Amino acid sequence: MKSTASSSRAAKRRLSPGTFAVYLVLVLALIPVVFPVYYAFVGSVMGPGDLASYPPALWPSGLNPFVEGGEPLHPSNFTAVFDSIPLGRQYLNSAIQAGVITLSQLITSILAAYAFAYLNFWARSATFGLFLATLMVPWETIIIPNYITIADWGLADGVKTYFGLVLPFLANAFGIFLLRQSFLQFPAELRDAAVVDGCGHLRFLWRILVPLSKPAIAAVGVYVFLSAWNQYFWPLLLAGDPKYQTLQIGITQLRDAEAADPGLILAGVTLSLLPTLAIVIFGQRFIVRGLTAGAVR
């Protein structure tokens, strides 16, 4: 009996040809996604000789046992980044921008999604459709009017630049849509029971609905943070003073530093990738669960 059970388990563990083919396709599709990140990390410690070699070196020659007299590692590329650009200040600027945008969009998305899911008001469906219509408007078409407005308000000079960087992004229809779909998963009886127990709208929202919707809220937070962290054109247009420029602007300035040293550029790219990689790695399960919220009702 034991041998039969063990052989059955072994048969289940054995991959079928179809499953193996699926895994093979996924691995092949993963290579072009992962390779740029891998090369940024590896190239950040390579020397000029390895980076300029042909065919391109995919591993530092100093760590390759099959290469004699390989070029040593260059961890000094990371210290050179801090000497070339004000990386610490730009990190702080990006963190402030991304943090404020993420927090504000979470608050506005939660409140608006609750209103569209649980409150009955005039033209609710039409208003929600208007919100969704804003998703079809490309950001590039409104960036000039936004810049003119921000400049007229005096939010493109000095410390006020921080307000200008975040003001156009305090709310977004994508988060509202995703959280509304998540809120609609919960039965109406849950809200009715809360009303019977004396819960008002805000108490029901913050004490019951928000804790039950943590995966969807986390997914919105991760998406918004990554989008804000990777912004380039808007900070480039608005922040003329280097003290208020973000990290993405600083990375492009490395092209003019040290005669465009590839190792220096890759070291800067690696430093800018660390926060986003950490958020994606630790928040991926929330992203999947949040994006599938409301798919089945």
Residue spans of alpha helices (H) in the chain: 2-13, 17-43, 48-51, 76-84, 87-118, 124-133, 139-152, 161-166, 173-183, 188-196, 201-204, 210-212, 214-229, 233-238, 247-253, 262-291
Number of neighbours of residue 230 by Cβ within 10 angstroms: 14
Number of neighbours of residue 191 by Cβ within 10 angstroms: 18
Structure tokens at 79: 């210290």
Domain ranges in the chain are 17-74, 84-291
**Minimum mean pLDDT among 42-56, 123-137, 154-168: which range?**
42-56
Question: pTM for the whole thing?
Answer: 0.84
Tell me, what's the pLDDT at 278?
Answer: 85
3-state secondary structure of 86: coil
User: CB of 226 within 8 A of CB of 97?
Assistant: no
**Overall average pLDDT of the 10-39 stretch:** 80
Tell me, what's the pLDDT at 297?
Answer: 46
pLDDT at 286 over 70: no
Q: How confident is the model at residue 296 (pLDDT cuts 50, 70, 90)?
A: very low
Distance (Å, rounded) from C-alpha 209 to C-alpha 202? 10
Q: Kindly state which CATH superfamily the domain 84-291 is placed in.
A: MetI-like (1.10.3720.10)
Q: CA separation (Å) from 201 to 37, 111, 113, 118, 206?
A: 45, 10, 13, 9, 9
pLDDT at 166 over 90: yes
Residue-wise pLDDT for 73-116, tens only, equals: 888 888 888 888 888 899 999 999 999 999 999 999 999 999 99
Distance (Å, rounded) from C-alpha 273 to C-alpha 17? 37
* Mean pLDDT of all residues belonging to the chain: 84
Structure tokens at 199: 């819960």
9 or 181, greater pLDDT? 181
